[in-house]
Every structure is written in C-alpha cells, then in structure tokens.
C-alpha cells in the first residue's frame, strides 16, 4: 500500500483532508480533572487497534493525500511498543510522503523517549502544561508530577525538538498562572497555546460548566501585562496566534466553542478503536476497524474512509460560554484524541 497513490480525500465542502490525528490509546498515566474521572474504565484491549492496524490505516490516509499526522491519546507514550509505530511512520516523513509527524503528550515520559522521537523524524511536539505550580499541577492531573514533566520538556528541548505548550484555561483554577506561563515560555523559547475547556464526556461533578473561561477574556487579561500583536501565522491546526512583544514568542488561542474555525478544517480524527470522526463536535463516525479486520487487502478500508469523508459536516455544534453549557459530546477526549 505504502507506495500506491489513491484519489485525494475531498469533502462535500471542497475541503481537502490533509491532516490526521490518531489516538493510539485511551489509557493514560494522569487523570486530568477535565479529561477523565479518577476511576476510568478503559476499553478492552481487543477493541483497540493493534500497532500494525494503526500503521495500515495511516498508510492508506497518507496514500490518499494526508501530509500531517499527529499522534495523541490518552497518553501516546504509555502505549507499549509505541516507538515501533512511530519509527514506521517516521519512514513516511523520511521519504517525503509526510510533511509533519508530531505528537501531543503530557510530558511525563519524555525523559525516556525524547531522543528516540527525534531519531524517528519528529521535529516538534506539543506538551500539555496547565500550571507551573506543583500543588496545582498535582490537583489538576491527579497523578502527575510537575518536576517529571518539566524534566521531560527540557529533555525534549535538548534532543532538538521544538516545543509548543498547551494550556487548558480554567476559571478560578489556573487563571492566576497565565502570566507566569507566558513569561516561562518566553524564557524557554516555546509557543504557548491556550485551549478553551470543552464539554467532553459525562463528568459526574459538571466541573467544567463552572470553570468555562472564554479565551477572549484570557486574551484581554494577558493584554494588560503583555504587548500582543496579532499575526497571520497559522499552523494546520485551529489556533490563532499573537506575538508577545516582550518575549518574541507566540501565544495562540484555540476556542472551538466561541470562534468558528470550521471553514478551513482539513482535519479528521481516528479513535484508538478505529472510529473515524470527521468533526470533533459531531457524533457521526465511520467504523474502520471492521473493514481493517475483515480483509488484509485495503479496498474495504479505502471505501469506508471515502464514505466518512463524504459525510464530513460543515461545522461543529459546540454551545458554550453560557451557564447552560451542554455536553456537546458524550465522548471522553482520551478516546477521540485531543
């Protein structure tokens, strides 16, 4: 399959699908309060795509014009032998069939994996870090250690990886930390992206309704302390960026609930069970695991992918920023992949 070229994937709104996010596991060594409950039930292993199956699906997408691939989860680096998959995907980058291979990680295992990731062809990664306060970090991640993550980030930088920090903005929780994060990222040379908390998964305490903080407010508050100049810098992700005059680094904002980024969406997501979601905000998904397992040939898989893309919706349905913010998606982020 690897060498064959397939027709490019174009949705009904003429958007070309060039970016695939893949959740390689639903499991994680942290239990972030906005992402998981503490007593998560994980999926039976048989439901999770094997590393070989993940490689096969990625190969079909790459043959169909996907140029950027992001691995996520759960925590991608907790998946056993994940480096064998990353090494294979790195080959696509090495021979020019992928422009970008990257990863979103909680950083907890970067000390161990940073050099290997660089050797596989990764050049940049996103690391989630919501606070620089150790006690708050422990409260937010439940099981994480700030020291370990900071050591991981430094190991990644030393390995040559460019780092972008992702921070979920939570009202009354980490909003006192934002200036410190901007200063710290500026000092280290990292871009910082704020993410608006999304209502994903049925959480017992409904915490995210109270903690919802519009990023327009975050930006306004940052602008009191920092000189922010809007830039037209874009990645293939949905963030909009401002340059911080004092540090020269960028701050980005991903606000799916308040700003429409659907028009230019080129992304699709594959869950670790092989469901292909063509929009984070829609429940409509196509099962790729059945065609994958039904035959060693790829024609049924290719058909299923084409069918999913032909149903990609025009935009998402998130409703937020009000007291009655509703869970727009009953899926947990760790299954879909953030």
Residues of the shown chain interacting with ligand SF4 in the complex, contacts defined by CB under 6 A: 28, 30-32, 35-36, 73-75, 106, 128, 333-334
**Binding partner of residue 195 among ligand SF4, ligand SAM, none, CB cut-off 5 to 8 Å per kind:** ligand SAM
- Any contact of residue 128 with ligand SAM (CB under 6 A)? yes
Buried b (16+ CB within 10 A) or exposed e, 266-297: bbbbbbbbbbbbbbbbbeebbebbebbeeeee
Nearer to ligand SAM, 72 or 247 (CB): 72
34 binds ligand SAM, rule: CB under 6 A: yes
Question: Residue 90 or residue 338: which is nearer to ligand SAM going by CB?
Answer: 338
Q: Is 20 in the site for ligand SAM (CB under 6 A)?
A: no
C-alpha 36/C-alpha 310 separation (Å) is 32
Selection from ligand SAM, ligand SF4, none that 31 binds (CB < 5 to 8 A by kind) is: ligand SF4
Q: Report residue 260 as tokens.
A: 């429409």
Among ligand SAM, ligand SF4, none, residue 36 binds (CB under 5-8 Å by kind): ligand SF4
- By the 8 A CB rule, do 200 and 257 touch? no
198 to 227, contacts with ligand SAM by CB under 6 A? Answer: 198, 200
Asked whether position 161 contacts ligand SAM by CB under 6 A, the answer is no
List Cα–Cα distances, 296 to 179, 229, 290, in angstroms: 52, 52, 11
- Residue 128, φ and ψ in degrees, nearest 5: -85, 130
Rounded to 10 deg, the angle between the 110-119 and 82-94 helix axes is 30
338 binds ligand SAM (CB under 6 A): yes
| Sign for the pseudo-dihedral over CA of 114, 180, 104, 75 | positive
If the CB atoms of residues 31 and 282 are measured against ligand SF4, the closer one turns out to be 31
How far apart are CB 277 and ligand SF4 at their closest, in Å? 16
Q: How far apart are the first and last CA of the chain?
A: 28
- Which of ligand SF4, ligand SAM, none does residue 198 bind to, with CB < 5 to 8 Å depending on kind? ligand SAM
């Amino acid at each position: 399959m690897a060498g064959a070229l397939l027709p490019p994937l174009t949705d009904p709104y003429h958007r070309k699908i060039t970016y695939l996010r893949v959740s390689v596991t639903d499991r994680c060594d942290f239990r972030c309060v906005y992402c998981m409950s503490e007593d998560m039930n994980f999926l039976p292993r048989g439901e999770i795509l094997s590393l070989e199956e993940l490689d096969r699906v990625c190969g079909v997408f790459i043959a169909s014009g996907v140029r950027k691939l992001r691995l996520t989860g759960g925590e991608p680096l907790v998946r056993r032998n994940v480096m064998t998959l990353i090494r294979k995907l790195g080959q696509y980058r090495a021979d020019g069939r992928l422009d970008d291979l990257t990863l979103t990680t909680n950083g907890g295992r970067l000390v161990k994996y940073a050099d290997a990731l660089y050797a596989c062809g990764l050049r940049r990664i996103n690391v989630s870090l919501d606070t620089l306060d150790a006690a708050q970090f422990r409260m937010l991640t439940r099981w994480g250690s700030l020291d370990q993550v900071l050591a991981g980030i430094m190991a990644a930088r030393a390995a040559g990886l460019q780092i972008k920090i992702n921070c979920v903005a939570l009202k009354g929780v980490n909003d006192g930390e934002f200036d410190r994060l901007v200063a710290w990222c500026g000092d280290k040379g990292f871009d910082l992206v704020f993410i608006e908390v999304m209502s994903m998964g049925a959480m017992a305490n409904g915490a995210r309704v109270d903690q919802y903080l519009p990023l327009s407010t975050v930006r306004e508050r940052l602008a009191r302390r920092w000189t922010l100049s809007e830039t037209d810098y874009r990645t293939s992700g949905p963030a909009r960026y401002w340059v911080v005059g004092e540090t020269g680094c960028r701050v980005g904002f991903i606000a799916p609930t308040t700003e429409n980024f659907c028009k230019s969406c080129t992304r699709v997501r594959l869950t670790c069970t092989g469901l292909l979601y063509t929009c984070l905000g829609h429940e409509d998904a196509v099962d790729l695991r059945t065609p994958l397992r039904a035959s060693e040939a790829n024609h049924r898989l290719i058909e299923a992918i084409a069918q999913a893309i032909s149903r990609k919706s025009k935009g998402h349905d998130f409703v937020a920023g009000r007291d009655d913010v509703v869970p727009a998606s009953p899926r947990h982020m760790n299954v879909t992949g953030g």
